[in-house]
Amino acid sequence: MHPALADHLSRLRAGPGGPHIAAFFELAGTLIEPSPASDNNAPGRSSSSHRARVRIRSKRRAGTGSPADATQLIEQQMRSWAGQTPAAVQSQSDELFKEQLAGSLRYDSWSLLRTHQNLGHTVVLVTETTYLQAQPWAQALGVEHVLSTRLQTHDGVFTGTAVDDILSGVRKRVAIAEFAQSLNLNLELCHAYAHGDTEFLHTVGNPHPVNPSPREISQARLHHWRPIYIGQRRRARGAAAAARTAAMFACLIAAGGVGVAAGILRNDHRAGIDLATTLFGTVAPRLGRITIAIAGEEHARSQRPAVFFVNHQSTLVDVVVTAHVLAREFTIVVKKEVRDIPLVGCLFALAGVAFLDKTNTAQAISALQPAVHKLQSGISIAMSPEGTRSLTPAVGNFKKGGFHLARDAGVPIVPIVIRNAGELMWRNDKVAQPGTVDVVVHRPLPTVGWNSTDLDRWRTEIHRLYTDTLDDWPGIAAGQHWSQLIDDAGTQRD
């Protein structure tokens, strides 16, 4: 995180909270990358609109883009929806968001937005695009208010035109003023974040240029604005990046093969598995040029066997981190479909991985019984409490299975919080980026003597631990509160 952003977050946390203060976030270029994915953010794209996007994107990169270019692009998008129902276009937009666009979120921007939310500020997304494109972002980010271009309908279908003008320039300023009036907000107390839209920034008393150009820096100095710098996601997509990613996948297969051979030669199946996981956790990060920074690593060793909870953002990076942190004497719980993946499914089966049928929720807990036996035999279990990969850095709802598993086996739960695996390799990405993955391992939570009330209570508390850790990394205060809860529970039990 850039020092200017860290300083800004500290100032915010020390300042006033409450819904009477609003934070207006420009969507494109501030919260999300102005990448090819985020440029293609409309369903029903035609070849002509695609060519227009390519041309406008080239002008942006050359620094010769204009508001008229963006307006032209949005108008083309709206025309392509003429004759379609809002429900049909929204469904296409939601699917496109899940498959592509959510991966363009900037993690530092997410931290900034979460800081405002935790202060109780009124957070608003502002975008020149339509509500259909902004709504998936608002839902994923937990934002209630969106200012966007409104679409005209007739007889239940889109006409291909806007109700008013495109939400840019004067229209954007008017929309912000009207919104503030509707909630009785004093704009002098409010914040705005934008890249390149100085007119937008002038609408509030606390404007923040994001990653400003030299010209915008001069303007910021003139008006005594505080620029902030948000890290941009690396998008290495060339042959070298693909080769590094392939090498990590190959390392998984190779380490598994070495482990199988070693287990046969030693007549010790478990020793072979431990060799495989240790090799993979050591070699794969080096092949991918990934550094794993761990805080609280002692908690991963202090009480075993245990159920290790790992928040799930990435297909490959989460597995690399888990193997690196735990190293040996553990296995994982994965969905049963993984069994059908060539080579990987076979190796996982040989490693004693627990395959779970997530479509059968009625039998999900009973299906974990083999994992209970693993724990009772001294082998730890690593699993995602969410049960699926998240679209954003935020953790999803926690399933009950892992809590039942730990309670039934009488072993502790150890929370492993990964901050940014999705930043290096988002859930649908095919190529992993080099960089540093930040990890915190929190104190083990005893489960002996739990009843159903205890399970539900700790399910809520551990979810809060993950949320608080991600909101204020590296979660020192969250960890202290977590330890106090465990100590208090132990005192009450005694």
pLDDT in tens, 62-114: 444 455 667 888 888 899 999 999 999 999 999 999 999 999 999 999 999 99
The pairing of strands 413-418 and 435-441 is antiparallel
Q: How many whole angstroms separate alpha carbon 313 and alpha carbon 408?
A: 27
User: What pLDDT was estimated at residue 40?
Assistant: 43
pLDDT in tens, 115-133: 999 999 999 999 999 999 9
pLDDT in tens, 35-76: 443 444 455 544 444 444 444 454 444 444 455 667 888 888
Average pLDDT over residues 216-234: 89
Helices 452-471, 401-409: inter-axial angle, 10-degree rounding: 120
pLDDT at 194 over 50: yes
Average pLDDT over residues 305-323: 95
pLDDT in tens, 320-370: 999 999 999 999 988 788 788 877 778 788 777 878 776 666 666 677 788
Chain length of the chain: 494
Q: How many whole angstroms separate alpha carbon 229 and alpha carbon 113?
A: 14
Sign of CA dihedral 218, 219, 224, 228: negative
Average pLDDT over residues 214-231: 92
Which domains are delineated in the chain? 3-223 (3.40.50.1000), 291-493 (3.40.1130.10)
Average pLDDT over residues 258-280: 94
Rg (CA), the chain: 25
Q: How many whole angstroms separate alpha carbon 193 and alpha carbon 118?
A: 17
User: What pLDDT was estimated at residue 69?
Assistant: 66
Mean pLDDT over the full length of the chain: 90
User: What pLDDT was estimated at residue 232?
Assistant: 78
User: What pLDDT was estimated at residue 42?
Assistant: 53
Average pLDDT over residues 361-384: 84
Q: What percent of the chain has pLDDT over 90?
A: 77
Q: How many whole angstroms separate alpha carbon 132 and alpha carbon 87?
A: 9
| The pair of three-digit structure tokens given for residue 257, joined into one six-digit string | 């093969």
pLDDT at 155 over 60: yes
* Cis peptide leading into residue 444 (ω within 30°): no
Average pLDDT over residues 458-478: 97
Least confident of 70-84, 283-297, 358-372, 392-406: 358-372
